[in-house]
Chain A
Amino acid sequence: MNRDKSMRRFWILFIIASVAVSLFPLVTTSEYYLRLAAIMLLWIGMAGCWNLMSGYTGYIDFGPVVYYGLGSYATAILMTKYAVSFFPSVIVAGVVAALIALPIGIPTLRLKGSYFAIATFAFAETMKQVALEFDRAFGVTFFEGSHGITLPLSGQSNLFFFYCVFVVTLAVVLLHYHIEHSKFGYGLKAIHEAEHAAEIAGVNTTGMKLRAYVTSAFFLGLLGGIEAYWITYITPEDVFNVHKTVQMVIMTLLGGMGTFLGPIVGASFLTLLQEWLGTTFVEDYMILVGAIIIVIILIAPRGIVGTIKEWKGIRFI
């Protein structure tokens, strides 16, 4: 009974919040705020993707950006070389990212802790180098090397991209809800707590990790595709940039790893901070991010949401 009540309260709050966010473009007339809101949603989605895999299972993925980058490239190549329109390209981009994540995930997810982190990092850097050097080494024009690909001009407004990102991010957030309330989610958390014990208790640990990994790759591919069309110009250095990975990790960590609200809180906070500091003091921003990481790890390793939960015993969901 109590559980039903809290679930109903959650859904009411959730629907109010998502309707409020979806109505945001009607309230503001400023393109700047609309763009900022869309960027914020994009980061919530990306941090959420990282949280789905690493936050819940504790397997630190240091190369999620590779699926974002692959999504960008798949969209760009489909649109420029095969003249496919935007929506089908983005869907295919997500599928491509997921299909690549599958054969990569099967061997790497058997690795433990540090080795998994290093392997995913190595894979992301490999793909960046491949995108940079493939054409020159094999004498073809596919990835277009370091000068990047210019996508067809969209002619779409920020409003259009706001809603594209909104839909994907909403799906990622709903997936978090699903994880919090399903056997799948308990499995992932069990992997985090004690993988051996979970395995002995009959949890298909590798299968579960793989599902989380591929799902997060799919959504990262979608987001990468959308952003590529939005900014219309991509280079390997940009879309496979390790700093995108760092942002995802730090946003989730700041909010609280393995929590529903963590990526939302962390991504919103850091996007605003970056907007405020990053435009005028780029280096100071990076120093500050470094300091924030150190302080969180030392003082509140559970992040903002986790720490508040611990102090007050508040249940957010």
Chain B
Amino acid sequence: MDTVLLQAIINGLLLGGVYAAYSAGFSLIFGVMGVVNLAHGELIMLGAFTSYWMFAYFNMDPYLTTPFAMGFLFVFGYLMQKYIINRVIEQPHIMSYILTFGIHLMVANLALKFWTHDFRSITTSYSGLNAAFWGLHVPYSRLITFCLALFIIAALWFFLARTETGRAIRATSMDKEVARLMGVNIREIYAITFGIGAAITGLAGASISPFVIIYPEMGLDYTIIAFCVVVLGGMGYMPGALWGGLILGVAQSLTATYLSAGISVAITFLILFFMLIFRPTGIVGKGLEN
């Protein structure tokens, strides 16, 4: 097989794993509450900045900062759902996405005010190093992040399938009235779900910090990618994030290699647009109808 093609596919898979990691939280939040979280990219931004500041002040390795990013974002997400989004949760969904858009504007611009427009990056001892074999190159940091992404999704799946809280979350997403009758505190479950969604997103944000540019307005692009990934995989269907991420990653990497990088962004949106029209339940058809 041709090395260029193989390299493009490997790059695409590595990229796709990262996409999957930060889209899983988006899918979880949508699946359980029907909230399209337009402030999703800001959670990634906050995770990346947590990592950046800990690196800058304590010289910590970005991968070691992930638990802190996770903890911080859990609290942030939990409080945001509990005190803000829960108040409109019973109203039409429109309200929640305009509300989260307001949160997006506020968080991004507050970050801009305090942290300025500067582009920041984290340089570690292993930045730019590759594992090379058979003429192919795999950057170490991307490989670590990829493995971490698979781990996040597996852990999330395990949590939802095997724990008491996970069961309550699944019950709520299936039928919230019946769940309420069974003694589930719906609002608390919503807050915990948002907290968990935010936590894994923050973890993803921290784990991509070694190789992306970190700046306050980075969020919106990530929100858009998360849309595409989740629509491809099926909204609210957790393993779908993995399928969607990998397919999108490979598609982007192939178009960037063989056509041009700019067109690969247009291709992303075209895929999203046509998926919504022809197959809104995702590639494997297990997403939510509405």
Contact = CB atoms under 8 A, between A and B. Distances in A.
B227 A118 contact: yes
Contact of B36 (A118, A119, A137, A297): A118
Nearest to A137: B263
Given A114-B34, A114-B97, A287 B88 contact: no
B276 A132 contact: no
- For the residues of B in contact with A, the DSSP-based class is helix
A190 interface: no
A273 to B, nearest CB: 14
Nearest to B116: A283
A125 interface: yes
Given A58-B92, A297-B98, A130 B266 contact: yes
B266 A126 contact: yes
A114 B98 CA distance: 11
B260 interface: yes
Contact of A291 (B88, B92, B106, B265): B106
Contacts of B108: 286
B102 to A, nearest CB: 3
A4 B88 CA distance: 39
Contacts of A292: 102
A132 B260 CA distance: 12
Interface in A108-122: 108, 111-115, 117-119, 121-122
A45 B268 CA distance: 32
Nearest to B106: A290
Nearest to B227: A118
B290 interface: yes
Nearest to B269: A126
A91 B265 CA distance: 31
Contact of B98 (A112, A113, A130, A253): A253
B184 interface: no
Contacts of B34: 114
Contacts of A108: 276-277
Q: How large is the interface on A (under 10, 10 to 19, 20 to 34, 35 or more residues)?
A: 35 or more
A88 interface: no
A126 B262 CA distance: 11
A111 B36 CA distance: 15
A293 B262 contact: no
Which one of B112, B220, B263 has the greatest number of beta carbons of chain A within 10 Å?
Answer: B263
Contacts of A137: 259-260, 262-263
B101 interface: yes
A277 interface: no
A289 to B, nearest CB: 6
B231 interface: yes
B98 A287 contact: no
A252 B231 CA distance: 28
A307 to B, nearest CB: 15
Contacts of B266: 126, 129-130, 133
A97 B263 CA distance: 23
Given A122-B269, A123-B273, A284-B113, 17 more contacts: A58-B92, A111-B280, A112-B289, A114-B30, A114-B36, A115-B290, A118-B227, A119-B272, A125-B269, A126-B273, A290-B106, A293-B98, A293-B99, A293-B105, A294-B106, A297-B99, A298-B99
22 contacts: A60-B94, A111-B277, A112-B289, A113-B290, A122-B272, A122-B276, A123-B273, A125-B269, A129-B269, A130-B266, A133-B260, A137-B260, A137-B263, A283-B109, A283-B112, A286-B108, A287-B105, A293-B105, A297-B98, A298-B87, A298-B88, A301-B95
Nearest 8 pairs of A and B residues by beta carbon: A293-B102, A290-B106, A290-B105, A133-B262, A129-B266, A126-B269, A286-B109, A294-B102
